[in-house]
A = this chain, B = another copy of it.
């Protein structure tokens, strides 16, 4: 029986760890690697470029964040890696390494678990980030918890730097993943472009890094534009006024809104899984490719078109 036909219980814990390590390609590392001690010891050791260290952790749980019916292991691996890498990048930092804790049911096909690793590696490779270690545990449902570390640039960019007079601008898509989830939840697999947006975020890391020199404040939009703008407003002790006119409704979102009798602007204002980025800038210093969507004024909270936002402020994990 080849590993591709096996379940994880048939392969066993140590066999699975060996297979995952092989996929991640960190068992043999070149002399230029930042990895001083790779997988297989009590802990990994990484050579960082700075003694200041940025760290973030994000978990995804089966049937909460994804369903096997419409997401592959590769989708989940890309998504969880992207969620973590985008948190590091959002601090104005360069990601260095990931570790992963994988909870797997005994009857999970080995290939599904290896696909999670393949997806993580695919996204990590985009930023020359290595997966240096992990833990595999039994679990009745699949769970993937990734922790990313990175090295900040000289100036750490938090959410707290937005200044009265700044504009806020967005890089990346908004609402696509939320629309895709709405489609998939109803049992549809098309339009593919929306379902794919739910399966895997598409992050333009170069576009985010182009903001590092000028962003006064920066965050990834993981809770939704209104919710994350609220976090930025609170941390910066300012008010952020969003103008929906600046938020173009792409054709697939408009069409799907009509089909599902949903207002597509709600997906744009509250969807988080696209991992777009929100930055505050001097109006003269908005980087190319970023879209100005609002203003920073004195006050507190967030307005949308001049009013308090009526509707869900963003994704909440605990249904009442």
Instruction: Give residues in A with beta carbon < 8 Å to B.
Output: 8-10, 12-13, 16, 36-37, 40-61, 63-65, 86-88, 90-91, 93, 97, 99-101, 103, 106, 132-141, 143, 145, 147-150, 152, 156, 158-160, 218-220, 231, 235, 316-320
Contacts and interface: CB of A to CB of B under 8 A. Distances in A.
23 contacts: A13-B317, A13-B318, A37-B91, A41-B159, A41-B219, A41-B235, A42-B159, A43-B54, A43-B55, A43-B56, A46-B52, A47-B51, A47-B53, A48-B53, A55-B97, A55-B99, A57-B133, A59-B143, A61-B140, A63-B140, A64-B137, A64-B139, A140-B141
A145 B61 CA distance: 12
B318 A9 contact: yes
A58 B40 CA distance: 13
A143 B103 CA distance: 9
A215 to B, nearest CB: 12
Report the copy number of this chain in the oligomer.
Answer: 2
A217 B37 CA distance: 14
Contact of A316 (B12, B44, B63): B12
A78 B45 CA distance: 24
Contact of A41 (B47, B48, B63, B91): B91
Contacts of A150: 43
Nearest to A219: B42
A105 to B, nearest CB: 9
Given A40-B159, A46-B53, A141-B141, 13 more contacts: A36-B156, A42-B218, A43-B55, A46-B55, A47-B52, A55-B97, A55-B132, A57-B147, A59-B137, A65-B137, A139-B141, A139-B143, A145-B145
Contact of A53 (B16, B45, B58, B320): B45
